[in-house]
Amino acid sequence: MEMLIRPAFWQPILIQGTAAVMLAIAGLFFWISRFQLVVAADSIAYASLFGGLRRIAIQEIQTAELRGEFFNPIARLEIRPYKSTRKKPIIVYLELFRRRDIKPLLDKLGVQQPH
């Protein structure tokens, strides 16, 4: 009588678990890649996977301020337009971007930054 013994990594549960982890990592990278911040001379646009694209002209911005500790996991930049524009605010989660890339935007908006 023959008995087939396979290595441990051939076990279906390990293959399925590995595939699930790899799929989750790929999904995470895809989700992060969908975030995009575009700063033009006359407007700011922010795109995310679930939030879509939001664009606000510089002259439509009423307030822009940092919420939370600067570059902590919950730190965000809130850009609020005037109510008369009927546009939704742009909430930029700062931990997704490099500090040196965000600093010119904060300077342009006149946002007070911690030193």
Digit-coded pLDDT (tens) for 20-74: 999 999 999 998 888 888 888 899 999 988 888 999 999 999 999 888 776 566 7
Which pLDDT score is estimated for 21?
Answer: 93
Residue 54 falls within a domain, yes or no?
yes
pTM tops 0.75, yes or no: no
Which pLDDT score is estimated for 105?
Answer: 87
Could you report the per-residue pLDDT of 69-105, keeping only the tens digit for each?
765 667 889 999 999 999 999 988 888 888 888 888 8
Angstrom distance (rounded) from CA 100 to CA 74: 18
* The total number of structural domains that make up the chain: 1
Residue 5 falls within a domain, yes or no?
no
What residues make up the domain containing 93?
36-115
Strand partners, 8: none
The residue assigned the tokens 């989750």 is 24
Which pLDDT score is estimated for 114?
Answer: 66
Residues 6+ apart with CB under 8 A from 49: 30, 31, 34, 35
* Share in percent of the chain as helix, strand, coil (round to 5): 40, 30, 30
CATH number, position 71: 2.30.29.30
Residue 10 falls within a domain, yes or no?
no
Residue 8 falls within a domain, yes or no?
no
pLDDT band at 9 (very low <50, low <70, confident <90, very high): low
Residue 6 falls within a domain, yes or no?
no
pLDDT band at 113 (very low <50, low <70, confident <90, very high): confident
Which pLDDT score is estimated for 57?
Answer: 93
